[in-house]
């Protein structure tokens, strides 16, 4: 299975991607995570990416497409992969077509009124787990690995507004793009819990 997970910022892509990768035994590739690892490591890519990420804009295509192309050339993706956060524009989708043959684009539909609270209340762990403050009962410790949780630099109201605007202009057109290729499946998340969304996702994937 070679699939794309599409959705607005805060739609729950990371939350669902972890579960999908585990259940279906495929590799989870998140361009956002790759950029954050580069920022943490102080690489040239990280230095470049940070200015765009902090502004809620897309990191330039030349850098992003090259990173994904290189990642998809590794042996571990042979049994399938899940792209989380790529492609994010029609240009990136066209580039992806040149080096990959995608089976499915799974779109997580989420009400935009929920997004600001979800993202600004998000706390993440270096192990990859993600939480919402409302579920932490005042704790700041990851239940999975015991490390301290932190807030992403781009999870502030101003940057979230810019990220949403970038999504609407650059990324949302991909819904029609993959629908036209009969590769789109959408899951309406509404007020479903992450477990309920995952159930709906599995129904689509098991078909």
Report the first-to-last Cα separation within the chain, whole angstroms.
Answer: 12
DSSP string, 39-75: HHHT-HHHHHHHHHHHTT-PPPHHHHHHHHHHHTTSG
Q: What is the footprint of ligand AP5 within residues 159-188 (CB under 6 A)?
A: 163
Nearer to ligand AP5, 12 or 20 (CB): 12
Which residues share a beta bridge with 184?
A: 105
Nearer to ligand AP5, 92 or 107 (CB): 92
d(CA 94, CA 186): 21
Nearer to ligand AP5, 35 or 178 (CB): 35
For ligand AP5, the binding residue among 3, 4, 12, 45 (CB under 6 A) is 12
Torsion of CA 52, 54, 58, 59, to 10 degrees: 40
Neighbour tally for 162: CB within 10 Å = 16
The closest alpha carbon to 187, from 168, 163, 173, 206, belongs to 206
122 is catalytic: yes
In the bound complex, which residue of the shown chain has the CB atom lying closest to ligand AP5?
32
118 is catalytic: no
* Contact call for residue 85 and ligand AP5 (CB under 6 A): yes
Neighbour tally for 17: CB within 10 Å = 25
* Contact call for residue 156 and ligand AP5 (CB under 6 A): no
* Contact call for residue 46 and ligand AP5 (CB under 6 A): no
The residue ranges that bind ligand AP5 (CB under 6 A) are 7, 9-15, 31-32, 35, 52-53, 56-59, 64, 85-86, 88, 92, 118-119, 122, 130-132, 163, 189, 192-194, 197
Active site residue ranges: 13, 88, 122, 152, 163
């Amino acid at each position: 299975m070679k699939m794309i997970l599409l959705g607005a910022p805060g739609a729950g892509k990371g939350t669902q991607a972890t579960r999908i990768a585990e259940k279906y035994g495929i590799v989870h590739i998140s361009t956002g995570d790759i950029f954050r690892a580069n920022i943490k490591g102080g690489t040239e890519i990280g230095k470049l990416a940070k200015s765009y990420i902090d502004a809620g804009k897309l990191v330039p295509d030349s850098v992003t497409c090259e990173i994904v192309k290189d990642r998809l050339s590794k042996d571990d993706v042979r049994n399938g992969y899940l792209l989380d956060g790529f492609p994010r524009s029609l240009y990136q989708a066209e580039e992806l077509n040149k080096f990959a043959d995608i089976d499915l684009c799974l779109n997580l539909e989420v009400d935009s009124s929920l997004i600001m609270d979800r993202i600004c209340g998000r706390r993440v762990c270096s192990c990859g787990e993600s939480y919402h403050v409302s579920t932490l009962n005042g704790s700041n410790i990851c239940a999975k690995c015991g490390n301290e949780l932190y807030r992403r630099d781009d999870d502030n109201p101003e940057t979230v507004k810019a990220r949403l605007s970038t999504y609407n202009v650059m990324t949302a057109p991909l819904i029609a793009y993959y629908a036209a290729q009969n590769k789109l499946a959408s899951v309406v998340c509404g007020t479903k819990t992450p477990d309920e969304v995952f159930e709906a996702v599995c129904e689509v994937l098991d078909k």
